[in-house]
Structure formats: structure tokens, C-alpha cells
Structure 1
Amino acid sequence: MKVKVLSRNPDDYVRETKYDIQRVPRNYDPTLNPFEVPREYTRAMNATKLERVFAKPFLASLDGHRDAVNCIAKHARSLSTLLSGSCDGEVKVWNLTKRKCVRTLPAHEGFVRGIVVRFCGTSFFTVGDDKTIKQWKMEAPGYGEQEEPINTILGKSVFTGVDHHQKEGMFVTCGQQVEIWDEQRSSPIRSFNWGVESFSSVRFNPVEMELLGSCASDRSIVLYDMRESTPLKKVIMTMRSNTLCWNPMEAFYFTCANEDYNLYTYDMRYLDRPVTVHLDHVSAVLDVDYAPTGREFVSASFDKSIRIFPKEATHSREVYHTKRMQHVVCVKWSADNKYVLSGSDEMNIRLWKANAAEKLGVLSHRERQAVNYNQKLKEKFKHHPKIKRIARHRHLPKQIYCETKELQVMRDARRRKELNVRKHSKPGSVPVVSEREKHIVAVVK
């Protein structure tokens, strides 16, 4: 009598690990797994709920300033170094790892309007209300030495912003005009002016390093090329822009923070209409900064909150706020793409996680696999109504919640009025203007 016996080699099914985990054979044929999609939907729902449960973005606050924080700057080479300037003229250097102030400089009389670190990280520049540009060493002075700047330049008017070239010893300032300076000279090597009273912000393009962008008091955004003697283009909007930031990965794109509660992303080749209008803030937007990946940016607003936007999205994916945080004046995204830093009116600098539910520290292999798997599940089912509602829900302060509803009522009323006017007018006499074109007054070349 013959007996047939199934035999398997256990070496094919046992992993060579210290735990001797049994390998489970799986057949991925969809006909053999009829409940695979419902099972994954349940897992995606649980992953989305747990993400909201563990969303704790606030990490720390850096106390030490005696007046409102007016500007902050990242170090060019060190992730743990942050510089901040306040309205009483003090500049502080912070160690983010220890969350302590390591150095304090009495830099200016009056507001510190701008700080920028040299591209090599050995020194930094500050500008203030006392009409001076000062260059300081990054290293603290030795024992018994005075805290003195390396170089001081006295200007003719108040400087409102400063930025440094990414590869050369040149920097740019703005005030009554945009001026380009060589570090070795005490007078500007080039000045740009286009019939504007003053400029509030100026930034070098991090990719095409000869290009600059500035925001002016006549509601315009002006673009320059250092190789040209005159400005390139100017786009005039219905309200004033406070600052702009270039996309670090796509040289043509920049985003500006406007007084009309919105942010606008432009392609500098086609300035007649913005690429995207970013909504959600309920007060003037004061600052904006891109993530090093170029896929997202963070904005700071007068409505006491900061928001994180995907670069092509109309609405924000995240909003951060605390009870004690007042008007947020400045914001930066860390160079490792993990943290966001904000400075506000109540003398605090706050450190936030860029992804609210991200677990900090070293992840084991299994944890990393679980995180990646849950992320893919959430992307797969993100358009399902219940999962979408849970993922989008945020608790907002009552003031922001009420003002958001009021702004929506106002938008609906304007849209309804425009439709009624068009309905009762001669055909073609009231043209349809898209939302993106409504905010542009003119483009001057």
C-alpha cells in the first residue's frame, strides 16, 4: 500500500532571524481574495483616525526676547542653529537641539528688519531702523572681547529687507530702492528703482541666482536680473504683497503673501494670471517660506495661525495655532524638511512638526513599513467621503471659524450679484472674469 505525504523543506519557510518567524505564503490572485478592498478600506479608515489622534505638532517654544520677534533666519550649513531679531534691536542665536539661546547681540537701535546668513555660514548680516547694515561673525567672541560687528555700512534711508547671494560675496537690500552690494565695498554696486516709494521685501532666486524679486508699496511685485541695468517686469495687484518666496526646485515659480488674506503662486514667464490662488487665511498674510523639496510652503498670518499648503492646492492641508500665540510675523521651514519655525508678537519662537502625526526618533524596520503601508492606504482611499471628512477636519479657534463662515457668505453674495448683473445685461456686456484674473490690475514690461 502506497501512502502519499506532502513534504516541505522548512528552510523555505523559516526566516534566518533570531525570532525564527514563520513565513506565510500568500496568493495575490484577486479571485481568491474577494474581501481585499473592504479590508483595506477599514485599515485606511483606522489609519486616518489614528493620524488625527496622534497629531501633536507643537514641540517647543524658545523664550528669551523682550519684544516682538520681527524676523528669523536659518543657518546655511547647520540644522541646529537659528537666528532671530526683535523689535528692540536685539539679535539672538539659538541652539535648537538644546532649545537655548547661546548668544545675544545688541545689533540695532529700533527694529531689526532683516537677517540673512552668508552662503558659507561664517558670518551673517542684519539691517535695521537705524539705517545701518552690519556684518557679524557667526562664532561668539572670546572671553573678555567686545561684541563688535566685522563691518558697518551707513545707508541713506531705512532698510526693510536683506538677502544674500547663494554662491558669491554679494547681498541685496531694499528700502526706498533695491540695492546690490559687494561685501568688499561700502557703496552699492547697482540700484534699481521703478517709480516706487518703498520696498518691503527682496529675495534672490535660489536656482537662477541672477534673478531677484521684490514687493513694493504700490501693490506691485517687481522682478530684476542683476545682469540688466533696468528691472524686467512688474505685476500690479489689487492689494499690497508683504513678501515673496521662490520655489527652491522650480526656478520659474514664486509665491507671494498678500494683504487680501490670500497667497498667489506665479509663473514668472506668464504674470498676467497666477497659477494658483491659495485661500483659507482670514487676515493679512505676513510671511511665506518654501519647504526644501519645493512641494509645500508654510504661511504666517495676522489671524494668529500658520498654515501649510501643497504648492498646487487651493486650500491648506494643515493649520497650527495655540491659545497664547498672537499675530505671527515670520516663519521658516527647516532645511531637513521636518520642522517649521514661527515667530510672533508675544516674544516667542515656536517649533512645530511639518507632519503633525509623524513619530520622531529612530524607527525600526517594521515601524517604517507600517507607516509606508498606512500612507499608501490613505492615498488610495482619500477621496471616499468618510475618510476625506476625517482627514480634513481641524479644530479652529472660534474667531477664525466665524470669520471663515463670514468670508464665505461674502464670496457667495458677490458671485450671486455678478450672475444677476450678467443675467439682466446685454449679452456679452459683462464678461466672465476668472477668480485668478480678478486680482491682477496690470502687467508692465
Structure 2
Amino acid sequence: MKIKVLSRNPDEYLRETKRDIHKVQRNYDPNLHPLEAPREYVRALNATKLERVFAKPFIGALDGHRDGVNCLCKHPTSLSFLLSGACDGEIRVWNLAKRNCVTSLQAHEGIVQGMCFHPSGRSFLTCGLDKVVKQWGISEECTINEEPLNTILGKSVFQSMDHHQSEDIFATCGQQVDIWKEDRSEPVRSFTWGVDSTHHVKFNPIETNLLGACASDRSILLYDLRGSTPLRKVILSLKSNAIAWNPMESFVFTAANEDYNLYSFDLRKLSAPIMMHMDHVAAVMDVDYSPTGRELVSAGYDKCLRIFNTETSRSREIYHTKRMQRVRVVKWSLDNKYIISGSDEMNIRVWKARASEKLGVLTTREKASMNYNEKLKDKFMHHPQIRRIARHRHVPRQIHSLTKEMRIMKESRKRKESNRRRHSRAGAVPFVPERKKAIVKEVE
């Protein structure tokens, strides 16, 4: 004789405190829930609509500079403080939590071209068009000393700089890429590879001995501090303005190019980019990765910011305001919640990384509701109505018209290429992927 005994674990249905939600027992048999899919579809549709209703990414502006903002620098140990440099040589330290300026200082004569923090956060370096590199001490309250700790006079103009992740080494670029130690007035090493000048340099945050630079001959150069010569370079059809290394994948970097696109490369194979990010309608000026390495943000000459997933070619978000002019520099905060941009009209703007995200403390029920809505949106993301609502963005008329014009030009080029292929002998006009067309050649 068989006897079935009901056995229940109290942890499965009892609450830990009286504020917790009652746990509901649910049978997942589809025969018992015939209207489950239509009900979840309606919930996903409502969640998508509400996401667009509450999508207000702009948080605030930090004004005070008297000229265009040319460079920004994140504090390595504090989320609240930000460093900015302007085209009139002024540097400012901002408290992002209070949205005010902590310290301002006239650091250089002319444009501040580059800024970088020491990994400890106790000092930072600046360089400018006056051929001078200065090291400044900074306190825990982020007040700057009036006089620089160290001053280095260079032989040529410095275009950019970046600091090593762990050692007292920093790199500058101009007529050549120089490697400096903080306690020496002459570079310990210089790299050249037959180019007139380099205008952007960046250390790899994981493989800390690797260094990337953008040159004026449309090339992207890779260096290794352990070697005496540059490693490799790839020449593109147009100049790259900036590069950013993926903080989670040491071999991946992304270049912001003048041809309105961003190219993500694997440095082990530079013959073709692994991903081509499109949507900008003007030159891309700057790029930065999120701390998770899954997304990147780009600043464009078309007066807008775009956020891309690293695995997709189209942007998931576009940020713009009426007064924002050409965006020169952009940074993604270290807590993965905010984006900071600096533009020509002397303002620094703070944005939410996710436009509809609620700021502040969330209750347990709010977190559960948000997670449930996210799962529903992922489940029904390919349904036409939900996809249309999720993708739609209001953009300025200029960007809308330029996007339409670029689409017509691209279709015209494709039609011309197909006509040439149709009226040529077989194999005379080969098929070339769009992402390979920008690569001129790879040099080792």
C-alpha cells in the first residue's frame, strides 16, 4: 500500500519579516494558465511604454568655464570628483554630488590638451599647447595646491597624455610618443614610426604595458613598453580621433573615426574590425567604455551622444539638448550609472546611463517589479509593436535630415557596386564587407 504524504518546507512560504511579500505557490503547467502569454504581452507593452514616458536622462549641467571644455578626467578612487580642462588653460575640480566647483586654477597658457590622475588619486598631471607638463598635488577634499609639484619643459607641443595603471610612469604624444617617469625631466623612452604627429594616447588598463595611439597619417599605433620598437599599426581610410580600451577584454579597443563610425578591433588581428558601430552623422570625437565592458558611449561633432552595445552596430540611445554644441569629450562614471560630457559651449553635462532608471534608494518591491518588467521586455522584444516603441527616438531635425541623406548615399553606392558587378566578368568586382572597407592596410 502506497501512502502520499504532503511535506512542506516552512522557508518556502513563511516570511522572514512582516514587511516581506507573501510567497505565492505557482503551478507552471501551461494547461492551467491558457491566457498567460497574452497577459504577459500586455504587461510587456505597458512596461515598454512607461520606460519611454520616464526616459529623462539629463540630470544637470556644471557651468563656470569661460571657454570650451577640451578634456575631462575621472578620479581613480572617488566617484564624486571630476577634473576638467578648458581651451583657455583653466582647470577645475567639480563635486558631482553637490554639482559645484571645488577649485579652479589657471594651469596653462593656451588649451589644456591632456589630463591624467596618479593611480593613488593624490596628484594629477596636465599638459597644454605651451609645451609644459605640470604635476599638481590634490588633497582628500580635492583642493589643488597653488604651485605645481613638478614642471617639465618639452621640446614640442603635447597633444595628449595618459598615466600607467600601477607605476609612476605616464605617456605623452605629439611629434612622437614619449614615456616619462614622474621624477625625471627627460623621457626615458621615445617611439616613432614614420608619422608627422600623434594626437591621442591611451594605456591598456589590464595589460598595463600595452599602449595605443592615434596618428595624423590615419593610423592606429600599438606599443609595448617592454620592447624597443612599436608593435603594429593599422591604417584606416580616415583619421581616428580617440581610442578606448575595453576594461574587461584586454585585447579589444575601439577607435572613434572621422568617417562617422566607431571601429572595435582585436589587436591580435587588425586586418578587419570585429564590430563597426554606426549612427553618427558627423565625425566622432571621443569614446569611452562602461566599467562592465559591455557598452560604450561616443561623443560626436553632430552635437549628440550615442550609447552602443559592444555586440551591436546600432546605438541603443541618443542624448541631445537644444543648447549643446559639438561634444569634444565624454566619460562613463566608475559606478556605471552616469555619463559626463564636455562640449564647445563651456558646459559639462551629467546624464543617466539608462534614461528611465530611477535614482535613489529602491524598495524590495520596486526592485522585484523592475526585474520582472525587464524579463518581460526581453521576452517580447522582437514583437513589432514593442520593438517600434522601444526603438523610437525624437532627434533634432538636422540629425534626421542628415541620416536620411546618408541612407540615400549608401543605397546609391550599393546600387552602383551591384551594377558594376552585374556588367563585369565573374570575380572582377569582389564582395567586400562594409567593416573591411575602412581598412587600408595592416603593418607589423
* TM-score of the two chains, using structure 2 as the length reference: 0.95
Higher alpha-carbon deviation: 19-28 or 241-250: 19-28
Work out the CA distance in 1 between the residues paired with 2:24 and 2:68. Answer: 60
Q: CA deviation at 1:193?
A: 0.4
- Counterpart of 1:363 in structure 2 is 362
Work out the CA distance in 2 between the residues paired with 1:241 and 1:287. Answer: 9
Work out the CA distance in 1 between the residues paired with 2:382 and 2:11. Answer: 43
CA 1:20–1:251: 2 relative to 1, 3 Å: closer
- Counterpart of 1:3 in structure 2 is none
- Give aligned-pair identity as a percent: 64
1:97 maps onto 2:97 in alignment: yes
Q: CA deviation at 1:24?
A: 4.4
- Counterpart of 1:331 in structure 2 is 330
Matches within 5 A, 1:96-135: 96-135=96-135
Give the AA of the match of 1:289: D
Work out the CA distance in 2 between the residues paired with 1:410 and 1:319. Answer: 22
Q: CA deviation at 1:162?
A: 0.4
CA 1:13–1:267: 2 relative to 1, 3 Å: closer
Q: CA deviation at 1:116?
A: 0.5
- Counterpart of 2:237 in structure 1 is 238
Q: CA deviation at 1:25?
A: 3.7
Matches within 5 A, 1:13-412: 15=15, 17-18=17-18, 24-139=24-139, 147-412=146-411
Work out the CA distance in 2 between the residues paired with 1:109 and 1:227. Answer: 35
Work out the CA distance in 2 between the residues paired with 1:191 and 1:123. Answer: 24
Which secondary structure does the structure 2 equivalent of 1:236 belong to? strand
Which secondary structure does the structure 2 equivalent of 1:317 belong to? strand
Q: CA deviation at 1:257?
A: 0.2
CA 1:142–1:215: 2 relative to 1, 3 Å: closer
Q: CA deviation at 1:266?
A: 0.3
Structure 1 residue ranges, 4+ long, deviating more than 2 angstroms after superposition: 10-26, 139-143
Work out the CA distance in 2 between the residues paired with 1:189 and 1:20. Answer: 62
Work out the CA distance in 2 between the residues paired with 1:153 and 1:11. Answer: 66
Work out the CA distance in 1 between the residues paired with 2:142 and 2:26. Answer: 66
| Unpaired runs of at least 5, structure 1 | 1-7
Contact 2:81-2:142 at 8 Å conserved across structures:
no
Contact 1:141-1:147 at 8 Å conserved across structures:
no
CA 1:188–1:12: 2 relative to 1, 3 Å: closer
Work out the CA distance in 1 between the residues paired with 2:156 and 2:169. Answer: 20
Contact 1:14-1:21 at 8 Å conserved across structures:
no
CA 1:135–1:422: 2 relative to 1, 3 Å: same
Paired residues in the alignment total: 436
Give the AA of the match of 1:365: T
Give the AA of the match of 1:246: W
Give the AA of the match of 2:305: I
Work out the CA distance in 1 between the residues paired with 2:365 and 2:300. Answer: 39
Q: CA deviation at 1:35?
A: 1.0
Which secondary structure does the structure 1 equivalent of 2:411 belong to? helix
Q: CA deviation at 1:23?
A: 5.4
Which secondary structure does the structure 2 equivalent of 1:60 belong to? strand
CA 1:109–1:140: 2 relative to 1, 3 Å: farther
- Counterpart of 2:416 in structure 1 is 417
Question: Deviations 1:309-351 (Å, cap 9, x if unpaired)?
Answer: 0011100000000000000000000000000000000000000
Which secondary structure does the structure 1 equivalent of 2:108 belong to? coil
CA 1:93–1:108: 2 relative to 1, 3 Å: same
Work out the CA distance in 2 between the residues paired with 1:300 and 1:71. Answer: 12
CA 1:106–1:387: 2 relative to 1, 3 Å: same
Work out the CA distance in 1 between the residues paired with 2:188 and 2:12. Answer: 73
Which secondary structure does the structure 1 equivalent of 2:315 belong to? coil
Q: CA deviation at 1:431?
A: 1.1
Which secondary structure does the structure 2 equivalent of 1:52 belong to? helix
Q: CA RMSD in A?
A: 1.9
Which secondary structure does the structure 1 equivalent of 2:299 belong to? strand
Which secondary structure does the structure 1 equivalent of 2:71 belong to? strand
| Unpaired runs of at least 5, structure 2 | 1-7
Which secondary structure does the structure 2 equivalent of 1:47 belong to? helix
Work out the CA distance in 2 between the residues paired with 1:13 and 1:272. Answer: 58
CA 1:177–1:430: 2 relative to 1, 3 Å: same
Give the AA of the match of 1:281: H
CA 1:153–1:230: 2 relative to 1, 3 Å: same
Question: Deviations 1:339-371 (Å, cap 9, x if unpaired)?
Answer: 000000000000000000000101000000000
CA 1:19–1:264: 2 relative to 1, 3 Å: closer
Work out the CA distance in 2 between the residues paired with 1:35 and 1:146. Answer: 68
Work out the CA distance in 2 between the residues paired with 1:12 and 1:327. Answer: 56
Q: CA deviation at 1:15?
A: 4.2
Work out the CA distance in 2 between the residues paired with 1:431 and 1:57. Answer: 45
Work out the CA distance in 1 between the residues paired with 2:109 and 2:141. Answer: 21
Q: CA deviation at 1:30?
A: 1.1
Q: CA deviation at 1:273?
A: 0.3
Q: CA deviation at 1:113?
A: 0.2
Question: Deviations 1:380-400 (Å, cap 9, x if unpaired)?
Answer: 111111111100000000000
Q: CA deviation at 1:18?
A: 3.6
CA 1:336–1:205: 2 relative to 1, 3 Å: same
Contact 1:263-1:278 at 8 Å conserved across structures:
yes
Which secondary structure does the structure 2 equivalent of 1:244 belong to? strand
Which secondary structure does the structure 2 equivalent of 1:436 belong to? helix
Work out the CA distance in 2 between the residues paired with 1:322 and 1:383. Answer: 30
Work out the CA distance in 2 between the residues paired with 1:142 and 1:176. Answer: 33
Work out the CA distance in 2 between the residues paired with 1:332 and 1:410. Answer: 32
CA 1:195–1:47: 2 relative to 1, 3 Å: same
